[in-house]
Amino acid sequence: MSDDMDTELRNHPISGEPLPVATPAATMVIFRENPDGGAPLLLMVERIKAMAFAGGAAVFPGGKVDPADFDYAEMLHAPLPLDEAAARLAAIRETIEEAGLALGLSGVSDAANCIQAREALHSGESLQAVCNRFGWEPEFEQLVPWSRWRPPAFERASRVFDTRFYLVNAGNTTPLATVDQTENRMLFWATAGDVLEKAGRGEVKIIFPTRRNLERLAMFGDFDAAAAHAAEHPVSTVLTYVDKREDGSWLCIPDGHGYPVIEESLDSAMRG
């Protein structure tokens, strides 16, 4: 679960800098079993270069939490804090919009409904209206809280997001993900290690939070191991900061959040 104190932070606990107002957002890290064996496959979407945030980068599906997500969460009376329930609904909604996959929902049986649901969401309908139409119900427990990230104060205020990451298990299915061609230009399934290798070869770009999360995800051979690790590291906000040293400036995160790598040279780190 998220730490309620996180929403009350006004200054960075390490640098002391004022924290800019952040837009709530949510991201879904989708696992599926690798048909070739080995590490699980994760869904990545590559954003079009013109996007203001993470343009041209490979990211997990996700986006901003809308007011309608809060309204739906309040109506559902979920046994979760309102902001947590709204974030999980946003992750579900954004994954339908961006990848055409309806995950974290019960009652989804017809792929054609996913196509229609995506069209409806793109035309401005709410997730609540879509679920009512197709008889779907959110299953909050399918989304495993993984992390929550907020950038440092030096980032441009227009691009500061307070993003919650959730793990979702698609099991041994082969979900038919399709790119939306609006915010994203392509998508692909790959292991966390493969994405990191692609980034190392310059085949894809990944921003600092995505790189750190891929490094952490690469430690696990299946969904259950990653979920167990998440349970051992209850979510609290990862507040990045800059450490100025003799060898230059480093973009860092505090230790204790479960990440194997907690720093990168500011010169090489790709930010949103």
Residue percentage of the chain with pLDDT more than 90: 68
Band (52; pLDDT cuts 50, 70, 90): very low
Q: Which two tokens stand for residue 145?
A: 């809280």
Q: What is the mean pLDDT of residues 122-128?
A: 96
Q: What is the pLDDT of residue 272?
A: 63
Query: How do strand 41-47 and strand 58-59 relate by DSSP bridges?
Result: antiparallel
Tens of pLDDT, residue by residue over 239-262, are 988 889 999 899 999 999 999 999
d(CA 39, CA 31): 10
> Is the pLDDT assigned to residue 7 strictly greater than 50?
no
> What domains can you pick out in the chain, each with its CATH number?
4-236 (3.90.79.10)
**Which pTM value belongs to this model?**
0.90
Q: What is the mean pLDDT of residues 22-36?
A: 94
